[in-house]
Copies of this chain bind each other. A is one copy, B any other.
Amino acid sequence: MTKIEMTEEIILAKKSKGLSWEDIAGKVGLSPVFLTSACLGTNSLKPKAATKLCKVLGLSGDVLATIQEYPMKTWDFGIPQDPFVYRFYEITGVYGETMKEIVQEKFGDGIMSAIDFSLDIDKEEDPKGDRVVITMNGKFLPYKSW
């Protein structure tokens, strides 16, 4: 079973059970973003979480095995096209150098890890239009000399 076939099976089960990603994540005991990324095939689950997920969705052992495999992470376009995804590319272009300046002033020379990292999404209600709040939290990794 490929990761793609796994995702298709999960989405079918999710639809037929009428569950949201947030519902499933709550039952499995993980954040919605991490759980969804594993279901879409860009992260792997530990055995315990995988077992819970399959129980929640009533899925077979094939999904159980495949979701624990370490994925090759790839994406379709060098420069993303879907407007939702593109805006994050644009933010990287417009604010990348600015973020580097601020972080390096606060932490020294280094980067924010994208591996020892979490990402959460909240909804901020606002009468002028609700707002999406995205919080990224990554370990600062300092460059070392040797």
Residues of A within 8 A of B (CB): 20-22, 30-34, 36-38, 40, 42-46, 49, 70, 72-119, 121, 123-124, 126, 128-146
Which of A131, A139, A145, A146 lies at the interface centre, i.e. has the most chain B CB atoms within 10 A of its CB? A145
Judging by beta carbons under 8 Å apart, are B146 and A132 in contact?
Answer: no
Identical copies of this chain, number: 10
Judging by beta carbons under 8 Å apart, are B132 and A135 in contact?
Answer: no
With contacts A21-B102, A74-B81, A146-B31 taken as known, whether A40 is within 8 angstroms of B138 at the C-beta atoms is no
22 examples of A-B residue contacts, CB within 8 angstroms: A20-B105, A21-B102, A22-B102, A33-B146, A36-B102, A40-B97, A44-B143, A49-B145, A73-B94, A75-B96, A83-B90, A83-B114, A85-B96, A85-B100, A87-B138, A89-B89, A92-B92, A103-B121, A106-B121, A117-B144, A123-B140, A133-B137
